[in-house]
Amino acid sequence: MKLETKLTQRDKKLLLIAAAICLLVVSYFLIFLKNMNAAEAIRTSNETLNAKVQELTQMQAQAEDKKTETLKMKQEIEDIKAEFPVDLSTADIILILDGLEHEADMKISSAGFTEHQIFYPNGGSADGNASSQTTDTTEESNAAAPQGSDTTGADDSSLSAAIQSNKYIGMKSAVNISFKTTYAGLKKAIDYINKNHDRMTIGELNATYDTDTGNLSGSMVINMYILSGLGIQKAYEPPNLEDIVTGKDNIFGTLK
């Protein structure tokens, strides 16, 4: 028996509606949803870019202030570097101690100092840990002039290598002195050290009061600092020792 299938007008409309729904579903998942995901990614990217633009705009507005601040900080660094000598020789130390005697009414009977010790950038080094050199003075002589080569160890090979391989090298030389002065003179000595144009500090201070004379006698350790290295452009200038007393007319102290 042969069956004939006929679609009514109503069936055709239902099929068209079903096909349209399928087309909408396929379009939603294949086109619309994909475009929505892309739009969300673009929106997120735009928010990130807008935040970056605002940050750059703010940085641009502060550019002149930052430039001025940078120049100020560079000048402050140069001012700090200028406070440190590039080297410290025996003659420099003698000149400083001579100035200390005159400015503070202090009599230095002996002075001992060590070679340079690196404290930056290594935080401390054994370089320059040689035995201390001592200079004795008498009541008629302020200090002894250096003889021969410099005793501060500036020619040490390891120290020279450190200076040539680092932008900044901080070094310290400890000077130990024995002195006699008054209370007012001790205060002047402290001011002289604190306000000296070269950077130095007092590491140790011991003083004893003499009830008979009213004077003070004791010892002091003065830490003198040096800044050297590739980042330091200034050159070392030897001190002028023409005004320093370097000897006695009569070493035996006999009467004429």
**In-domain check, residue 185:** yes
Q: In the prediction, which pLDDT does 158 show? A: 62
Query: Are both 79 and 98 inside the same structural domain?
Result: no
At residue 36, the pLDDT reads 76
Residue 25 and residue 73 in one domain: yes
Who contacts 70 (Cβ-Cβ below 8 Å, separation ≥6)? Answer: none
Give Cβ neighbours of residue 94 (< 8 Å, ≥ 6 apart).
135, 143, 144, 145, 146, 241, 244
Given pLDDT bands bounded at 50, 70 and 90, which one contains residue 129?
Answer: very low
Mean pLDDT across the stretch 236-241? 80
pLDDT in tens, 202-230: 999 999 999 888 899 999 999 999 998 88
Mean pLDDT of the chain, nearest integer: 77
Cα 93 to Cα 238: distance, rounded to the nearest angstrom: 11
Looking at the fold, whether 47 and 17 belong to one and the same domain comes out as yes
* Residue range 150-198, pLDDT digits in tens: 444 444 566 666 666 678 888 899 999 999 999 999 999 999 999 998 8
Q: Which domain holds residue 194?
A: 90-124+158-228
Query: Which of these, 97, 92, 133, 129, lies nearest to 112 by C-alpha position?
Result: 133
**Phi and psi angles of residue 147, each rounded to the nearest 5 degrees, phi first:** -120, 135
Do 114 and 217 fall within a single domain?
yes
pTM greater than 0.75 (yes/no): no
Q: Is residue 190 part of a domain?
A: yes
Residues 98 and 224 in one domain: yes
Integer Cα distance of 30 and 24 in angstroms: 10
Same domain, 169 and 114: yes
Asked if pLDDT for residue 247 goes beyond 70, the answer is: no
Residues 70 and 187 in one domain: no
Considering only residues 249 and 68, tell me which one the structure prediction assigns the higher pLDDT: 68
What is the total count of domains within the chain? 2
Is 250 contained in some domain? no
Going by pLDDT thresholds of 50, 70 and 90, the confidence category of residue 134 is very low
Token pair for 79: 């001012």
> 15: which 2 tokens?
């099929």
